[in-house]
């Protein structure tokens, strides 16, 4: 069974159909279980709004992409940001080297990683997050 932790850069690749889209859709289709943080919805919702409404000014496309985002999010099991994540960051100095949201994502992924009996695949295109995830012994795309 393939389990992936989904970060916003990965999910937005599906929405924006960017240069990583082919790789992203291939990986997405191989995942049996997808996990993430509640932050994922907030980050992606804001980016979709900014791009399709503020940059392109296209309400129709915005509604389509917003609907697509909600559909993708519905298949991702998301963890709330709680004291467990705060403690995870406090206990791992490597997590303190990242930007706050990336640190929260990676701490959440590490918590999920401890709960499952197999390797969790970090699905992210963020270079700093990938670097720290590797340093922590996690598998990355």
Helices (H) and strands (E) in the chain, counts: 7, 5
- pLDDT score for 69: 98
Q: What is the pLDDT of residues 2-20, one digit of tens each?
A: 999 999 999 999 999 999 9
Task: Report the pLDDT averaged over residues 107-121.
Answer: 91
Q: What is the pLDDT of residues 24-33, one digit of tens each?
A: 999 999 999 9
In the predicted structure, residue 55 carries a pLDDT above the cut 90 = yes
Task: Report the pLDDT averaged over residues 39-59.
Answer: 97
d(CA 51, CA 76): 23
3-state secondary structure of 116: coil
Label residues 18-38 b or e (16+ Cβ within 10 Å = b): eebeeebeebbeebebbbbbe
Contact 31, 4 (CB under 8 A): yes
């Amino acid at each position: 069974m393939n389990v992936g932790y989904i970060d916003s850069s990965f999910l937005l690749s599906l929405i924006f159909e960017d240069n990583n889209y082919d790789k992203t859709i291939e990986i997405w289709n191989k995942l049996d279980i997808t996990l993430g943080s509640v932050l994922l919805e907030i980050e992606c919702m804001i980016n979709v709004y900014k791009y399709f409404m503020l940059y392109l000014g296209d309400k129709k496309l915005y509604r389509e992409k917003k609907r697509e985002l909600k559909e993708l999010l519905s298949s991702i099991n998301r963890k709330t940001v709680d004291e467990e994540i705060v403690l995870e960051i406090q206990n791992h100095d490597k997590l303190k080297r990242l930007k706050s949201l990336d640190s929260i994502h990676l701490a959440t992924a590490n918590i999920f990683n401890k709960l499952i009996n197999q390797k969790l695949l970090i699905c992210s295109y963020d270079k700093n997050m990938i670097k720290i995830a590797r340093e922590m012994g996690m598998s990355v795309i």
